[in-house]
Amino acid sequence: MRLEGKIAIVIGAGQSPGEGIGNGRATVLRFAQEGARILAVDRDLASAEETAALARQEGGECVAFEADVTREATLATAMQSAVDRWGRIDILHNNVGVSVGGGDKPIEELSEEAFDRVSAINLRGTIMACKHALSIMRRQRSGAIVNISSVAAFENSYPLVTYKVTKAGMVAFTQQLALQNAPYGIRANCILPGLMDTPMAVDTRARASNRSRAEIAAERDAKVPLRGKMGTGWDVANAALFLASDEANFITGVALPVDGGALVKIG
């Protein structure tokens, strides 16, 4: 019960169609298992409801909420909804991000529209969510923010422009958050997932390339140093649990790789 009594907001609590479990849904379930009360936020309310129902099966208290990270007002409403219901916000977990599904491309093929769309979802949405959570956390003089970046921020061969740029921006933004809000007792950290076996990462690529899921998964597995196997949403969720919990009480401003050793190869 490492989050007993904590109020958590998970943005990106639903998941795209496909096999396995996404990072956001897995994080909601781990938070619920550890005693948090959770507002499960997603643009797709039906998917958020599925996540909330699974969390309740784990014995947790979880409410689904519809919000679109590209619309700041909906994020502000989500924060206020949590405060109205539970009186505070202890944890904000920002899990929304797209790459191939948002139309991201290598630079010679990249359009303005795709760049703006992916940037708004991947980076601006997190910044605006933090903006509205911080006013509440500062009054409390406590809080933990966990943002999802990616090893793509540092990977030297990642081909898609906007995903890489926005995930690198996430690291810089998290460091800024950590330093500027340390006097308020607020911690901010980010996670850098590597190659993960999630519906968004594998099934989306399979659909976009008209290839089988098994083929995409095998290619990705072969690139992972640790056991030659991708991680799962549970690996990200466990890292998020640690950073959100009081066990990480003296940790702020870190970018934690959860990547099976991928970043070790760089240099």
CA angle 27, 100, 223 (to 5 degrees): 75
The arrangement of strands across the sheet holding 91-94 comes to: 61-66, 37-42, 7-11, 91-94, 143-148, 186-193, 255-258
Catalytic site includes residue 163: yes
Task: For residue 151, count other CB atoms closer than 10 A to its CB.
Answer: 20
Q: Check residue 168 and report its DSSP letter.
A: H
d(CA 4, CA 87): 15
65, 115, 154, 163: the active-site residue: 163
3-state SS string for 85-138: HHCCCCEEEECCCCCHHHCCCCHHHCCHHHHHHHHHHHHHHHHHHHHHHHHHHH
Q: Is 211 in contact with 168 (CB distance < 8 Å)? A: no
Query: Which residues are known to be catalytic?
Result: 163
